[in-house]
Amino acid sequence: MNIKLPYGRTHINADLSAFEHVNVLEQAKYSPEFAESDEVRNALQNPIGEASLSELARGKNRILLITNDMTRPMPSKITIPAIIAEIHSGNPDAEITILIASGLHRAMTQQELVDKMGADVVADNRVIVHDAYDNDSLAYFGELSTGNPLWLNAELLNADLVVSEGFIEAHWLAGYSGGRKSILPGIAGADTVMRNHCPKHVDDKATRPGNLQDNLAHREFTEAATKAKLAFILNVVLDKDKKIIKAFAGHPFSAHEEGCRFVNRLMSAPCKLADVTIVTNSGYPLDLNLYQSCKGLNTASFATKEGGVIILCTECAEGVGHGGFGEVMNMKMLPAEVLEKMHSGEIKIYDQWGAQVILNVVVKYKVIVVTDIERDIIECMGMIYAENIAEAVDMAAEMVGHVPVINVIPEGPIIIPKGGTGA
């Protein structure tokens, strides 16, 4: 069995022909009814639980359109022109500001903006990149029910209508991405994000991919979206080639929930816990850095026997990633000690949640990483470096001590393992 695994903008091949028990966890087969642009247009013209965007745009002259940054494979060259056309069909004179929901990520370059949305969209519209650390660009929207002070981008105050776009996949913290996440963490202040992504929320039993029920972070997300007066969303579902196979538009909660149900049916993969799980972070752009790669690693933990081996294949062309994440991962302490200090509040650094997710896995599993990051960096983080997938598989088999049962998750962040308990 030779399995192609996404790695950066290319693929690597895992030769597993020597192993008898190999289970590939993939999305269910689905044949889209329409071409990508037609699917988006149909969703916009048949909104769920809300009036059409063209109707909402009437009399609203300052419209804020929120979209993802470069770390998400959102096909905005298709979706944003469709959204703008729908707005202008109801209000030709509407002024549209596009706000990039960067969360705590680095700012996008001008070329990345063009690559994402197209030169015409960038040239014809006011585009702002959210900066979570710039307090002067934030406004206070009250306190969430959890006590978290909600600071959001002040552009919301100038908008007559707030619209967002995104894509829906399983998410390690939120249950599912998309919808309300455009607001928090997308355009929230750093301190608000910090409190939302706190150790308690990260480790809560309801925090897992594919779950919204009793999810503490999701509860804050929905409250933030309500306070921000998010009125309409367009969310899409992508296949493994990052192509749109389904679109959902309308009310920010009901349309998103319908999309989540679709994703759950499509992305749930039955499995038994394996001795070894091979996983990726779905290639570019999701495997740009190790910080983002906690998603695939977290997914693998739900498909692996405790004490087993996880092989993470992630290119990481931009290295480790965010400064705070790298700072935590480079601390000269045992993983369990770092986690304890996070929970006590002794360690409190922006982006530490990515490190928490990885360290939670490292203390329960042996983690081998196939990556372009240097060996010493991986090893100082409590993980094991492998030159290539063949070496990683050999190492894993030796660690297990017998012919292993192997799960393979070629698209780590999007799959919802079902059947085992895992981490």
Question: Is residue 209 within 8 Å of 298, Cβ to Cβ?
Answer: yes
Residue listed under structure tokens 């999305």: 27
Three-state SS for the chain is CEEEEEECCEEEEEECCCCCCEEECCCCCCCCCCCHHHHHHHHHHCCECCCCHHHHHCCCCEEEEEEECCCCCCCHHHHHHHHHHHHHHHCCCCEEEEEEECCCCCCCCHHHHHHHHCHHHHHHCEEEECCCCCHHHEEEEEECCCCCEEEEEHHHHHCCEEEEEEECCEECCCEECCHHHHCCCCCECHHHHHHHCCHHHHHCCCCCCCCCCCCHHHHHHHHHHHHCCEEEEEEEEECCCCCEEEEEEECCCHHHHHHHHHHHHHHEEECCCEEEEEEECCCCCCCCCCCCCHHHHHHHHCCEEEEEEEEEECCCCCCCCCHHHHHHHCCCCCHHHHHHHHHHCCCCCCCHHHHHHHHHHHCCCEEEEECCCCHHHHHHCCCEEECCHHHHHHHHHHHHCCCCCEEEECCHHHCEEECCCCC
Query: Which residue among the candidates 11, 21, 105, 201 is catalytic per the annotation?
Result: 105
Three-state SS for 250-285 is ECCCHHHHHHHHHHHHHHEEECCCEEEEEEECCCCC
Question: Is residue 193 within 8 Å of 184, Cβ to Cβ?
Answer: yes
Query: Which residue among the candidates 130, 171, 251, 256 is catalytic per the annotation?
Result: 171
Give the number of C-alpha atoms closer than 13 A to the C-alpha of residue 144, restricted to the C-beta side: 24
Question: Is residue 18 within 8 Å of 219, Cβ to Cβ?
Answer: no
171 is catalytic: yes
Residue type, 123: A
Catalytically active residues are: 105, 171
